[in-house]
Amino acid sequence: MTYTAINFTITPFSEDIADALIAEISKLGYDGFQYNENGFTAYIPSSRYNEKALDNLKLPDILPSTYRIGKSCEQIEERDWNKEWEENFTPIVVNDRIQVRAGFHDPIPGIEYEIIIDPKMSFGTGHHATTALMLETLLDFAPRIKNKKILDMGCGTGILSIMASKTGALKIVGIDIDEWAYNNAMENIHTNGLNNITIKIGDASLLEQEGKFDFILANINRNILLNDMHRYTAHLAAKGFLIMSGFYSQDLPMIREKAKQLALTYQTHKEQDNWVAASFYKE
């Protein structure tokens, strides 16, 4: 398979600005992103590349006036993504309780939760603030998750589904619009030796086929969250929790107002690098 790689440069470079741009570009179905010292590269199968759609995002307009963005395009053959990640992917530890590592990393003896992720091109390794914040929040809710049904929207690598399973969830359903994410999540679930997670390809419209969930996890982006929160709420059981991330601290009032309109009660939130994970309760 041939890929199109779009190389973005940000002057001066800022990881927060890169994250904001990636959140916008991810709406177009890009399979993966790789940071560098000047910006990042976005990858998409060449058959799905649409230059006009990318231009229509008007990315330069998203940047503050003090930043400039440049981009170049190249065609690349499918690479050995495992080798790419081996060279760039380092293990992380969350709150001294969770280790997220690839299969080629050494485990930490006595760690409470071990999650093995071979991410390839999918988003969600724990390195991004939103994933780390969601993992921390799942730690807080771990006693309540035991024997509960969990929905993981935008599941990516399956990292949050795997964490929910390891904290004792009864059943987990993960949904992602990207086929590559589906395949990667299935591999990671098998690697972690789990059998109570089902992954499906699609968007929030798939929820019409589902019942109620005790916890709904959604680490996506602000616009999708605001658009789909009514669907999440409809499939959230009474006394259930909706936990969301993928938006900035300045977006939290907007998220809280939407939740209030849906009769969800704000519980708490965590922040890291201006990103937020917030939890809401359904009476």
**Each residue of 220-230: pLDDT tens digit?**
888 889 999 99
Start-end of CATH 3.30.70.100 domains in the chain: 2-78
Please, are residues 282 and 237 in contact by the beta-carbon 8 Å criterion? yes
Q: Of the candidates 208, 100, 217, which has an alpha carbon nearest to the alpha carbon of residue 149?
A: 217
Domain 2-78 has CATH 3.30.530.20: no
Q: Give me the mean pLDDT over the 8-27 stretch.
A: 80
Q: Which residue has the tokens 């380092």?
A: 90
User: How many angstroms separate the CA atoms of 228 and 44, rounded?
Assistant: 25
- Of residues 226 and 17, more confidently modeled: 226
Predicted local distance difference test score (pLDDT) of residue 36: 75
What is the CATH T-level fold of the domain 129-282, as seen in this structure? Rossmann fold (3.40.50)
Choose the most confident range, by mean pLDDT, from 12-21, 180-189, 253-262.
Answer: 253-262
Q: Would you state the structure tokens that stand for residue 120, as one six-digit string?
A: 């390839």
The pTM assigned to this predicted structure is 0.77
User: How many angstroms separate the CA atoms of 20 and 257, rounded?
Assistant: 22
Start-end of CATH 3.40.50.150 domains in the chain: 129-282
